[in-house]
Amino acid sequence: MEILLISVVFLLLMALGVPIGTCLGIAAVVTILQFDLGIGMLGVNFSTGIASFPLLAIPFFVLAGVILEKAGLAATIAHFFELLVGKMVGGLAMVSVFTCMFWGALSGSGPATTAAVGLILLAPMVKHGYDKSFAGATIANSSDLSIILPPSIAFIIYGNITSVSVSALFVAGIIPGLITGAGTVLVAYLISRRRGYKGLEKRGTPKEILIALKQSIWAILTPIIILGGIYAGIFTPTEAAVVAVFYSLFVAIFVYHSITWRDLIRILVDASVTSSVIMFLVVFAGIFTWAASVIGVIDLTANAIIKISPNAVVMIILVNFLLLGLGMILDAISISYLIMPILMPVLAAFGVDPLWYGVIFISALAIGQATPPVGVNLFTAANLIKGDVDSVAKEAIPFVIMDVIILIIITLFPILSLYLPVMAGLYKP
């Protein structure tokens, strides 16, 4: 009866269009009150849900991303890549991909990356003859990399749920992220060549490229400093997030002179709003997970999954299809808290490495950011081009197919995810 109630309330609220975090919280609270599961645990779960050292990295990484965004560093990165590859066939499309890769690693947010890069590159792409829907789809799909390439908020959430080292997850995402980026570049190039999309009129001279590199080097160094510090064991991901904030402030104020101390109030407000939304979802999802565990939903579902097939590969493939479907209607954080508590005993039963699966899990969720009907990157891109989501989603299909192919490759070859963390001494399988 408890299982039926929590499921019905959750699905009913979802059907009414209630935000996912609120759906999770209300469904859990109603079930706890109705069956007297321990109302006193609400306060305990509320506090413990966010009282986690790894989770402290989220607001700091968000703040660093907002600082860099307000400082206009995306434009300097884009200009560098324009001079470097802009003249090639499909040059501006590839510039968009490269810029999204670097900016995604700085912001950690798909929609934020889509918005920042889109505002800079969509107009030049349309001006040079690119279809605006294709331009939007390229940027939207490239922004998927923001939750695969470190530092990634999605990896922090996964590590918090599964107790897997966030440092190891960050490093594990590097090779799969670069492979996904290469696949996106290939699709953008092939479509551009077939449609005759050209690049800029001229390639940047060595002197111009060098000047642009000097201007953008501070932004490019940000993920290198963060990952280098983690890789070398100098600081933890949470400490790295704090370093990223102070580094961003230094660069924005003293190097680029693009923000003033007065701008910090607006920056702090924006970062606080974004962080609050994430933490709100984390807390309510945690309460839902606890309630679901108490009434037996997690054990029941986990046992059902285990019985489907005795083969770990088949199980992972089936779960990947589930994640791709859920990614069309839910955000990555919600899916993580809904699915991972169920999958943890399943992974343990099959002997699946949790670090390797973490990369698979997040890569599958990344695809959902650019798939309708709730692909947040698609909506952001469609809004920027003042077009409809359907046209952008249609142009995104080749990119999504490539992402699925790469997901299969990552699934079949665990070494792609495990090599760097093992070599760095951050993880022992």
| pLDDT tens by residue, 324-337 | 887 777 777 778 88
Classify residue 217: in a domain, yes or no: yes
Q: Of residues 171 and 338, which shows the higher confidence score?
A: 171
Classify residue 333: in a domain, yes or no: yes
Q: Of residues 300 and 141, which shows the higher confidence score?
A: 141
| pLDDT tens by residue, 378-406 | 878 888 888 778 888 889 999 999 999 99
Distance CA 371, CA 390 (A): 10
pLDDT band at 116 (very low <50, low <70, confident <90, very high): confident
| b/e 274-299 (16+ beta carbons within 10 angstroms → b) | bbeebbebbbbbbbbbbbbebbebbe
CB atoms inside a 10 Å sphere around CB 150: 25
> What are the helix (H) ranges across 295-309?
297-308
Residues 27 and 126 grouped into a single domain = no
Residues 323 and 224 grouped into a single domain = yes
| pTM across the whole model | 0.84
Q: Of all residues in the chain, what percent carry a pLDDT higher than 90? A: 15
Q: Check pLDDT > 90 for residue 414.
A: yes
Q: Of all residues in the chain, what percent carry a pLDDT higher than 70? A: 93
Classify residue 412: in a domain, yes or no: yes
Query: At which residue do the structure tokens 């770990």 appear?
Result: 312
Residues 248 and 149 grouped into a single domain = yes
Question: Side chain identity at 429, as an amino acid letter?
Answer: P
Residues 385 and 266 grouped into a single domain = yes
Residues 102 and 130 grouped into a single domain = yes
Amino acid 201: pLDDT: 67
8 A C-beta contact, residue 37 and residue 294:
yes
Residues 89 and 230 grouped into a single domain = yes
Residues 301 and 372 grouped into a single domain = yes
pLDDT band at 48 (very low <50, low <70, confident <90, very high): low
pLDDT band at 1 (very low <50, low <70, confident <90, very high): low
Please list the helix, strand and coil fractions of the chain in percent, rounded to the nearest 5, in that order. 80, 0, 20
Residues 223 and 117 grouped into a single domain = yes
| pLDDT tens by residue, 195-205 | 888 777 666 77
Mean pLDDT (whole number) for 298-320? 79
Number of domains in the chain: 2
Classify residue 376: in a domain, yes or no: yes
Classify residue 10: in a domain, yes or no: yes
Between 106-110, 157-161, 215-219, the lowest mean confidence (pLDDT) is in 106-110
Amino acid 169: pLDDT: 92
User: Helix (H) and strand (E) counts for the chain?
Assistant: 21, 0
The domain containing residue 159 runs over which residues?
Answer: 55-423
Q: Per mean pLDDT, which of 221-230, 317-326, 333-342, 357-366 is the most reliable?
A: 357-366
Q: Check pLDDT > 90 for residue 234.
A: no
Distance CA 93, CA 90 (A): 5
Please list, in sequence order, all residues whose beta carbon lies within 8 angstroms of the beta carbon of residue 181, skipping any fewer than 6 positions away: 97, 98, 101, 142, 145, 149
Classify residue 19: in a domain, yes or no: yes
Distance CA 131, CA 398 (A): 15
8 A C-beta contact, residue 381 and residue 130:
no
Amino acid 184: pLDDT: 93
Classify residue 46: in a domain, yes or no: no
Classify residue 316: in a domain, yes or no: yes
Mean pLDDT (whole number) for 168-192? 92
Question: Is the bond into 111 cis (omega within 30 degrees of 0)?
Answer: no
Mean pLDDT (whole number) for 47-67? 77
Q: Check pLDDT > 90 for residue 357.
A: yes
pLDDT band at 51 (very low <50, low <70, confident <90, very high): low
Amino acid 177: pLDDT: 92
Mean pLDDT (whole number) for 294-322? 78
Residues 20 and 79 grouped into a single domain = no
| pLDDT tens by residue, 126-176 | 888 889 999 999 998 888 888 888 888 889 889 988 889 988 999 999 999
